[in-house]
Amino acid sequence: MASASRQMQQLQLSDEQLGVWRAFLRAHSTMLRRIGRDLEEAELPPLAWYDVLAALRDAPDQHLRQVELADLVLLSHSGLSRLLDRIESKGLVERRSCPSDRRSFHVAITPGGLELLELMWPVYARGIAEDFLPALGDSLGEIGETLGAIGAQCDAAREAEAAEAEPASVG
């Protein structure tokens, strides 16, 4: 713990580096608010519903274990559970017992969930096409690679931290 504290004290970011970070956060937040507002104006559910439904649509056999779904949509398990309660109450997903683990559930998209995705996509796509893509200009591939590398680096760091936290197996 003391080592991590010392590392944080020694870490210095330039004004330019901090500015890029803040610009990224602002762009992300602004895009999500814009798309969320557009969905609301179209009398459609929030963007988080789209993320859940799309993850299920794209999954093998259109279902996932609830813990896998939480990881994909970047929600805590309790946050996803509350969200699924609302989505399930509208008949868009259904939870099923997991045959291999009775403590776990599979979440499956219903035909109604697939229909809702089709209604939501044009609104979502318009936000991406009108605000996000034009700002990238000719740098689409480069920015995509950079964002992918950031995600991979964060995943690797998380996995390394998890591995360090696991007790060493006794052999």
Q: Is 92 exposed, middle or buried (0-12, 13-18, 19+ CB in 10 A)?
A: buried
For domain 47-121, give its CATH number from 3.30.70.100, 3.40.50.2030, 1.10.10.10, 3.40.109.10. 1.10.10.10
- Helix residue spans in the chain (DSSP H): 2-10, 15-41, 47-58, 66-73, 77-89, 111-127, 133-136, 140-165
pLDDT of residue 103: 74
Q: 77 CB contacts (<8 Å, ≥6 apart)?
A: 66, 67, 70
Note the pLDDT of residue 159.
87
pLDDT of residue 94: 96
Residue whose pair of structure tokens reads 């602004």 in the numeric block: 30
Q: What is the pLDDT of residue 133?
A: 92
pTM of the model: 0.80
Q: Which two tokens stand for residue 71?
A: 């990881």
In this prediction, residue 98 carries a pLDDT of 76
Q: Report which residue type is found at 64.
A: L
Domain locations along the chain? 47-121
Q: What is the pLDDT of residue 162?
A: 82
Q: Which residues contact 136 (CB under 8 A, 6 or more apart)?
A: 143
Instruction: State the Rg of the chain over Cα.
Output: 20
pLDDT given at position 31? 94
Q: Please give the chain's pLDDT, 171 residues, in tens.
A: 455 555 556 788 999 999 999 999 999 999 999 999 999 999 999 999 999 999 999 999 999 999 899 999 988 889 999 999 999 999 999 998 877 777 778 999 999 999 999 999 999 999 999 989 999 889 999 999 999 999 899 889 888 888 888 765 545
